[in-house]
Chain A
Amino acid sequence: MTETIRVENVTKQFTLRYHRTFKQVTVAMMKGRRISDTFNAVDDVSFTVSAGESIGLMGLNGSGKSTLLKMINGVMRPDQGNVRTRGRIAGLIATGAGFHPQLSGEDNIRLNAAILGMSEKEIDRRYDEIVAFSEIDTKFLKTEVGHYSSGMSARLGFSVAIHVDSEIFLADEVLAVGDRPFKRKCLKKMEQVRDSGRTLFYVSHSAGSVRRMCTRVLLLEKGQLIFDGDVDEGIKILHYDEDKDENEPDTDQDQDDEELGNDI
């Protein structure tokens, strides 16, 4: 198989700062309290991914999923270990694209696409397609993105990212916002990505859509990779199946996604 991502013993350490101002720091030091603390957001994680695989990255909130994705797409650098990738990487981190709130939708599309590595010509060619997919009214495209609803900017972000020709697509909780018809559309588009042989990285809390989308599951817990393998087994380890009976609000969401999964 052709490998596209290599993650080797990657560790990312975050520093917590309890006190930020000069006054707070001096007071804390006089009282002998700690002024900072560190923890490993991602702790010695290794795996490789091949082209055509679609990985479901799962774990509870704060388990290091987004940090791991940020290192794969190059926003963050690991403190230890190596990340190596092949080809262009596109996608969404933590439900949204990197949009500038003071820029119009149109400017943001171009800027975002250019950052992802598209050339001017490529962008011109794809522009209409991107707008059409996002289903955002052209009159809003002249407005600042800061005034968009969260669903609207998520739609625009997804639309830009999915239209970039990339070898690796990262989708971090893309379906957390957005209405049902759009979710369905996104899932369908991601299935196309998966079937075209590109590498898909999918972060989700919904067992249903992971089962539909993914061929392999990675489980993170407190920054450590505790499972790497079969989808059903991974979901079982995370107890997301049991959650359905215990946790009311989750049930709705889960069933919703389950249905969505079946729709496709």
Chain B
Amino acid sequence: MTDAYHARVEELPWVDPAPRNGLLEVFRRRYLLRLLVRREISARYSGSFLGLVWSYLNPLSQFAIYFVVIGLFLQLHDNVPNFAIHMFCGIILVHYFTETFNAGTRSIVRNKAIVRKMAMPNEMFPVASMLVSLYHVGPQVVILVLACLGYGWVPDLGGLVAVLLALAIIMVLGTAFALLFSAANVFFRDWASFVNILSNLVRFSVPMIYPYSIVDERFGSIAQYYLFNPMANAVLLFQRAFWVGTTDHPEELARTDLPDHLFARGFVMLGAALVFLVIAQMVFSRLEGKIPERI
């Protein structure tokens, strides 16, 4: 019996016990990822009475505040048809990104009990945070679709591509940022506060509470730099999918309030986000060795 055992062990390869394949390893161990996502969904609001409802109250309250302040007080929405839809397109995506970014940044520190003692790819935690945030996007999109249908919007294939492209950009970008800052946050907790400030900026860097036409009008040639922001591209793609179709003159609106070559820009941004993800992974791998001792 022991001889058979020895023979079997003899067959096993010599490996480095520390996991080294980063994100690839994360997707190989899907059951573990699923467990982590499921438990994060319940843990994110553990000890709270309303629980998951907060995920909806949060964007809804933002929506209400902006709608009242920007729309009713500042009367910006007079120039923008169906301003509520225009804004909600932005809020969903911005909220998805900032939630991924914030929760992802804290994810490794929050799981320090596990990180200290168990060998597993630590990339698991930020990726799980991104998926949990994605899980919360679903119902918000359903609300958006219902509202659009109320305005007589008809779904189209281009719109579907736009939605998937926008979500893909934010998934990749959010994971990259979460990965980078989750490792940095282990060394100095200041990063979590810094991330808070950054996520405030994101809100104003996308055409959400103001239409894209304003950027084009007021900044002229500088407007093209505005589109270097992948988040702005994602929001514009979402507006192409939902908002434009709800208005009375979609063609004209697409000309004034969406940039040229919207889809081509979207794919370029996705490519850029992927490159950034690779860089984030490389930085993460360099920092990772010190994480268990510094956490």
In the bound complex, do residue A101 and residue B113 qualify as a contact, i.e. CB atoms below 8 Å apart?
yes
Taking the closest CB of chain B, its distance from the CB of A2, in whole angstroms, is 4
In the bound complex, do residue B9 and residue A167 qualify as a contact, i.e. CB atoms below 8 Å apart?
yes
Q: Is B18 an interface residue (CB 8 A)?
A: yes
Taking the closest CB of chain B, its distance from the CB of A171, in whole angstroms, is 13
The 25 sampled A-B contact pairs (Cβ below 8 Å) are: A2-B10, A4-B9, A70-B292, A71-B18, A74-B17, A75-B292, A76-B18, A77-B18, A82-B16, A84-B14, A84-B17, A85-B17, A86-B14, A98-B115, A107-B35, A107-B39, A110-B35, A111-B36, A111-B39, A114-B31, A114-B32, A115-B32, A116-B118, A119-B31, A197-B2
Q: Complex Cα distance A131/B118, Å? A: 20
Q: Complex Cα distance A84/B17, Å? A: 7
Collect the chain B residues with CB atoms within 8 Å of residue A102's CB: 43, 46
Task: Fill in one digit per residue for B36-57: 1 if any A CB lies within 8 Å of its CB, else 0.
Answer: 1001000100100000000000
**How many chain B residues touch A (Cβ–Cβ < 8 Å)?**
35
B residues neighboring A (CB under 8 Å)? 1-2, 5-6, 9-10, 12-19, 29, 31-32, 35-36, 39, 43, 46, 111, 113-120, 288-289, 292-293
In the bound complex, do residue A75 and residue B116 qualify as a contact, i.e. CB atoms below 8 Å apart?
yes
Q: Complex Cα distance A110/B31, Å? A: 10
Collect the chain B residues with CB atoms within 8 Å of residue A75's CB: 18, 115-119, 292
Q: Is A112 an interface residue (CB 8 A)?
A: yes
Q: Complex Cα distance A51/B14, Å? A: 13
Binds B, one of A87-95, A201-209, A227-235: A87-95
In the bound complex, do residue B5 and residue A111 qualify as a contact, i.e. CB atoms below 8 Å apart?
no
In the bound complex, do residue A83 and residue B16 qualify as a contact, i.e. CB atoms below 8 Å apart?
yes
Given A96-B117, A115-B114, also A2-B9 (CB < 8 A)? yes
Q: Complex Cα distance A87/B7, Å? A: 13
Q: Is A61 an interface residue (CB 8 A)?
A: no
Q: Is A100 an interface residue (CB 8 A)?
A: yes
Given A52-B2, A197-B2, also A87-B116 (CB < 8 A)? no
**How many chain A residues touch B (Cβ–Cβ < 8 Å)?**
45
Given A51-B5, A52-B2, A86-B9, also A103-B43 (CB < 8 A)? yes
Contacting residue for A100 out of B2, B113, B293, CB 8 A: B113
Q: How many cross-chain pairs have Cβ atoms below 8 Å apart between A and B?
A: 111
In the bound complex, do residue B2 and residue A74 qualify as a contact, i.e. CB atoms below 8 Å apart?
no
In the bound complex, do residue B2 and residue A115 qualify as a contact, i.e. CB atoms below 8 Å apart?
no
In the bound complex, do residue A74 and residue B119 qualify as a contact, i.e. CB atoms below 8 Å apart?
yes
Q: Is A97 an interface residue (CB 8 A)?
A: yes
A residues neighboring B (CB under 8 Å)? 1-2, 4, 6, 14, 51-52, 70-77, 79, 82-87, 89, 93-94, 96-103, 107, 110-112, 114-116, 119-120, 167, 196-197
Across chains A and B, which 5 residue pairs bring their CB atoms closest together, nearest first?
A74-B17, A74-B119, A98-B117, A98-B118, A74-B18
In the bound complex, do residue A85 and residue B14 qualify as a contact, i.e. CB atoms below 8 Å apart?
yes
Contacting residue for B6 out of A51, A82, A97, CB 8 A: A51
Collect the chain A residues with CB atoms within 8 Å of residue B16's CB: 74, 82-84
Q: Complex Cα distance A100/B38, Å? A: 14
In the bound complex, do residue A72 and residue B111 qualify as a contact, i.e. CB atoms below 8 Å apart?
no
Q: Complex Cα distance A83/B120, Å? A: 16
Which of B43, B117, B120: most chain A CB closer than 10 A? B117
In the bound complex, do residue B114 and residue A73 qualify as a contact, i.e. CB atoms below 8 Å apart?
no
In the bound complex, do residue A77 and residue B43 qualify as a contact, i.e. CB atoms below 8 Å apart?
no
Taking the closest CB of chain A, its distance from the CB of B289, in whole angstroms, is 5
Collect the chain B residues with CB atoms within 8 Å of residue A71's CB: 17-18
Q: Complex Cα distance A235/B144, Å? A: 71
In the bound complex, do residue A73 and residue B119 qualify as a contact, i.e. CB atoms below 8 Å apart?
yes
Q: Complex Cα distance A98/B120, Å? A: 11
Collect the chain A residues with CB atoms within 8 Å of residue B43's CB: 100, 102-103
Q: Complex Cα distance A112/B114, Å? A: 9
In the bound complex, do residue A85 and residue B114 qualify as a contact, i.e. CB atoms below 8 Å apart?
no
In the bound complex, do residue B117 and residue A93 qualify as a contact, i.e. CB atoms below 8 Å apart?
yes
Collect the chain A residues with CB atoms within 8 Å of residue B1's CB: 197
Taking the closest CB of chain B, its distance from the CB of A196, in whole angstroms, is 7
Taking the closest CB of chain A, its distance from the CB of B50, in whole angstroms, is 18
Apart from A71-B18, A98-B114, A103-B43, list 6 A-B contacts with CB within 8 A: A14-B293, A52-B6, A74-B18, A76-B18, A98-B115, A99-B114
Q: Complex Cα distance A196/B9, Å? A: 13
Q: Find the A residue at minimum CB distance from B118.
A: A98
In the bound complex, do residue A89 and residue B12 qualify as a contact, i.e. CB atoms below 8 Å apart?
no
Collect the chain B residues with CB atoms within 8 Å of residue A85's CB: 14-15, 17
In the bound complex, do residue B6 and residue A2 qualify as a contact, i.e. CB atoms below 8 Å apart?
yes
Collect the chain B residues with CB atoms within 8 Å of residue A98's CB: 113-118
Q: Find the A residue at minimum CB distance from B120.
A: A115
Q: Complex Cα distance A69/B114, Å? A: 15
Taking the closest CB of chain A, its distance from the CB of B251, in whole angstroms, is 52
Q: Find the A residue at minimum CB distance from B18.
A: A74
